[in-house]
Amino acid sequence: MRWPTWADLRGIGNSSAVRASIIVPVIGYLIILNSTVADYLKLHGIEWVNQPTNVWDRLWSLKLYLVYFGLMFLGVGAAIYQWKCPSFVKKYGDWADYVAGVAPQVDRGQVEALAIIIGKDFRRDFHGDYADLIRSYLRQHYHQMSHYDLGWRIATAILFAWGFALLSIPSFMTAVRVAMALIIDER
């Protein structure tokens, strides 16, 4: 199985909506899980007062919790992504963008340092075409850093997946309820 790289997670981790979900655990606790707010929701028919009788009703009664935990998982995943993903992977969409953005500013000393980082021997690799060597080293560096920290990448990917899965349940249920209301209303 191939685990996602930081570059694969970049589209989700850099999105404004997912980054905003970092604050959900605090805000969600204060609003959704607050007993005063929960009582208000019950009084206004948003939350179930009676015990649900089947799985569908049980899931519907848990929709606020599903949204809360879905956003919480996304928020924790986004926090890990912001903390552990290398900054240039967050900034550049792929290695070609990275090379195009960085190569013009790289000097010989930086190339020699980069060679050490990626485990190459600059003196052995340099054959007169400095630009090709820089591109090759930068490409390898981007690839290496995008695969950096497997454990954190797995955790981030799992948290994103769980978050989207939990959010999809109330979304699907709402879509079914709206469709059913339209079908029943047309009769």
pLDDT at 153 over 90: yes
Does residue 147 sit in helix, strand or coil? coil
> What would the pLDDT profile of 94-131 be if each residue is shown by its tens digit?
888 888 888 888 887 887 888 888 888 777 777 777 77
Q: What's the pLDDT score for residue 44? A: 45
CA-CA-CA-CA dihedral for 28, 20, 79, 103, to nearest 10? 180
Q: What's the pLDDT score for residue 120? A: 80
- Structure tokens, 56: 């569908």
How many whole angstroms from its chain centre is CA 42? Answer: 33
Q: How confident is the model at residue 187 (pLDDT cuts 50, 70, 90)?
A: low
CB-based contact 73:162 (threshold 8 Å) = yes
Nearest CA to 163 out of 56, 15, 21 is that of 21
> What would the pLDDT profile of 9-47 be if each residue is shown by its tens digit?
988 888 888 888 878 777 766 666 566 666 665 554 444
- Structure tokens, 118: 């990626």
pLDDT at 158 over 90: yes
How many whole angstroms from its chain centre is CA 137? Answer: 28
CA distance 140 to 146: 10
Average pLDDT value for residue range 60-78:
85
pLDDT at 4 over 50: yes
Pick the more confident residue, 52 or 185.
185
What secondary structure letter does DSSP report for 12? H
